[in-house]
Structure 1
Amino acid sequence: MSAARKDKSNREDYLRMYRQMVRIRAFEDNANQLYLSAKMPGLTHMYSGQEAVAVGICEALTPDDKITSTHRGHGHCVAKGAEFKEMFCELLGKEGGYCRGKGGSMHIADQANGNLGANAIVGGSMGIATGAALSAKRLGKNDVTVCFFGDGATAQGLLYEVMNMAALWNLPVIYACENNGYSEYTRTDEIAAGSITARADAFGIESHQVDGQDVLAVNKLATDLVARARKGEGPFFVELMTYRYHGHHVGDINRDYYRPKDEEAEWKKNRDPITNFGKWLETQKIVTADELVGINNEIKAEAEAAVAYAEKAAYPSVKEVDMHVFASNAA
């Protein structure tokens, strides 16, 4: 990363971005172990490798700004302000979770921090995000909504319906396409014809492509687009070029048939967003190598303590089976 690109002038801002990326990686490492040890029900989809996307964008947002997430949504949740204990409780089905253990990995929602929820349906949150932006505009609020989705979701017709609406009504929404190179088990260039950004261009929506492994580049672009969206210049579309280190889900172990191991090794060695940002922080004398080690160890311990807490936490009562499912008829 270039020394000329000090997009955040404050040391604390840089370190917060670094810490947030490390927190996402630590959460995912522990979530993977919970699955492998058969302690977590169901599947989960690892966000490891894509941390700069969630952090770079969410650092440009306020707590009142909204996001919608995906089945690969732990990173978005952490970056928007979620706590480890509540997240691990949710993964383990405990009542202390953000959805009282009923949402699990793919349906975490954290309304207090503006996270309207993850969504197990590919592209399922696109309408929710656009609706949130419409609501903000109609109510005269200053909120901006970011809709996270993967490259595979560009095959969903809903995206084109909502982009048309957003463009017609100049809604304060940013469509953030995390292009990690694969749609489940198929290379993106085998399922997405043409340019992904051209899909937004067709609706007159300003589009951008950015290196999703460079947290400063992501944050600089996001900061600019969020500010412009608040002024009524939206919507916007961003394609973030990134990479997932794990398979499509935690059970996708033997994936040589669709993705070569040397490709994975290359990204992990030379394109890791956390390692490269850490090196940049060192070269700019913002932090020392020992301080980085200290941050990593501190967060690792925090994550492990949160897992232990969640494992001992109580399950929700069976009396809660219809809680949050039906609205009360009381006047």
Structure 2
Amino acid sequence: MNCFRLDGLDDATALELLGDMIRIRVFEERCAELYADAKIRGFLHLYIGEEAVAAGVMSALTPDDNVLATYREHGHALLRGVPAESIMAEMFGKATGCSGGRGGSMHLFDAERRFYGGNAIVGGHLPLAVGLALADKMVGRTGVTACFFGEGAMAEGEFHEALNMAALWNLPVLFCCENNRYAMGTSLESSESQVDLAIKAAAYSMPAWAVDGMDPLEVARAARHATGMITAGSGPVFVEFQTYRFRAHSMFDPDLYRSTEEVDQWKQRDPIPALAEWLVEHGRADDIEIAARWEAARSETDRAAAAAEAGPLEPLEGLTDHVTAPARTPDRIGAGR
């Protein structure tokens, strides 16, 4: 089990982190059930096991910060403030979804909350993070751009280009590597000659270190330290969060590349029951408070599922919206000149 330390955090923050992890876990487990019932279709990548990373990092961000994530982003969107009803409706492909039902599980998006995906291309959003940070710097906006990605993205060219430009231009980017040890079905040792990922990132002249991604308190401390450095003008920071997904890569994945014994060993470090037990044992929360968090999460998810079920599909006449440009008329031609 994890050995937790508050160190700079308080009881209320620890309980809030537990509640955030519970919200993600309940939402994700319901998504798995709905997928089995064919309510959610297409690809579905679950975050079960990795909740401590999203909970800890998102707790350190402000509404003015930008957030980009991978296709395993439901929990990040939820904690960013995207309504559960909007997320679930998107999973159902309904018009009331945050992306109008056009993106599905992998492409959640909410510009109002500065949540810029949900990006399905491995590593493809790292240059977008650099661009957002550059834009903020050019117009004098303060804030951090937090970019979540898996360790598999570090084998992509975009990773190297993004870190190089972020460091070269001293941009306010927090690179959050969610190292769950398997890029789809490929182990870290099979894909990277240098498995110390912080060393790899540090080669681009930026602060880089690794933390226990199964410990939400350590994640929160690391994220607060990193965002503090960035807002103070340090430029980009890289943090490797060493975590593990309990489910397969996606609902289509037979999960034949790792043993059940390995998965079971990691489940012994499940951050949700571990933190709950620690809080109770140390008198920082009681069973009633924790049970209330579970009940609130279930109620939130129930409402989201019911709203998604009842939500409308996009009308046929709107199918070409955002796909083709409006027809050009003579009075519009050259209007921008």
What is the TM-score with the length of structure 2 in the denominator? 0.93
Alignment check: 8 A CA contact 2:134 2:171 kept: yes
Kindly state the Cα deviation for residue 6 of structure 1 after the two structures are TM-superposed.
Answer: 3.9
Kindly state the Cα deviation for residue 4 of structure 1 after the two structures are TM-superposed.
Answer: 5.0
Kindly state the Cα deviation for residue 209 of structure 1 after the two structures are TM-superposed.
Answer: 0.1
2:82 matched residue in structure 1: 82
Alignment check: 8 A CA contact 2:133 2:145 kept: yes
The one-character-per-residue Cα deviations of 1:68-106 (angstroms, maximum 9, x if unpaired) are 110111121112122211111000011111011111000
Query: 2:216, 2:175 → 1: CA distance?
Result: 18
Kindly state the Cα deviation for residue 9 of structure 1 after the two structures are TM-superposed.
Answer: 2.4
2:260 matched residue in structure 1: 261
Query: 2:313, 2:8 → 1: CA distance?
Result: 44
1:235 matched residue in structure 2: 236
Kindly state the Cα deviation for residue 147 of structure 1 after the two structures are TM-superposed.
Answer: 0.9
* 1:302 equivalent among 300, 304, 321: 300
Unaligned runs of 5+ in 1: none
2:291 matched residue in structure 1: 293
* Amino acid across the alignment from 1:72: R
The one-character-per-residue Cα deviations of 1:47-72 (angstroms, maximum 9, x if unpaired) are 11001101100100011101111011
Compare 257-266 and 90-99 and name the one that shifted more.
257-266
The one-character-per-residue Cα deviations of 1:247-272 (angstroms, maximum 9, x if unpaired) are 010122x42x311111111211x211
* Amino acid across the alignment from 2:304: A
1:91 matched residue in structure 2: 91
2:157 matched residue in structure 1: 157
Unaligned runs of 5+ in 2: none
Compare 54-63 and 16-25 and name the one that shifted more.
16-25
Alignment check: 8 A CA contact 1:7 1:216 kept: no
Query: 2:161, 2:314 → 1: CA distance?
Result: 39
Kindly state the Cα deviation for residue 192 of structure 1 after the two structures are TM-superposed.
Answer: 1.2
Kindly state the Cα deviation for residue 297 of structure 1 after the two structures are TM-superposed.
Answer: 2.1
Query: 2:11, 2:293 → 1: CA distance?
Result: 18
Gap change, CA 1:135 and 1:10, over 3 Å in 2: farther
Alignment check: 8 A CA contact 1:3 1:284 kept: no
Aligned residues: 327
* Amino acid across the alignment from 1:277: L
> SS at 1:238's partner residue?
strand
Where do residues 1-331 of structure 1 align in structure 2 (5 Å cutoff)? 5-9=6-10, 11=12, 13-194=13-194, 195-252=196-253, 254-255=254-255, 257-268=256-267, 270-325=268-323
Kindly state the Cα deviation for residue 326 of structure 1 after the two structures are TM-superposed.
Answer: 5.3
Query: 1:242, 1:51 → 2: CA distance?
Result: 9
> SS at 2:233's partner residue?
coil
Kindly state the Cα deviation for residue 117 of structure 1 after the two structures are TM-superposed.
Answer: 0.9
Percent identity among equivalent residues?
Answer: 38
The one-character-per-residue Cα deviations of 1:150-208 (angstroms, maximum 9, x if unpaired) are 01111100111111111111100011111101111121111111121122111111101
Alignment check: 8 A CA contact 2:11 2:284 kept: no
Q: How large is the Cα RMSD of the aligned pairs? A: 1.7
Compare 283-292 and 71-80 and name the one that shifted more.
283-292
Alignment check: 8 A CA contact 1:35 1:43 kept: no
Gap change, CA 1:286 and 1:327, over 3 Å in 2: farther
Alignment check: 8 A CA contact 2:109 2:117 kept: yes
Kindly state the Cα deviation for residue 304 of structure 1 after the two structures are TM-superposed.
Answer: 1.9
What is the TM-score with the length of structure 1 in the denominator? 0.94
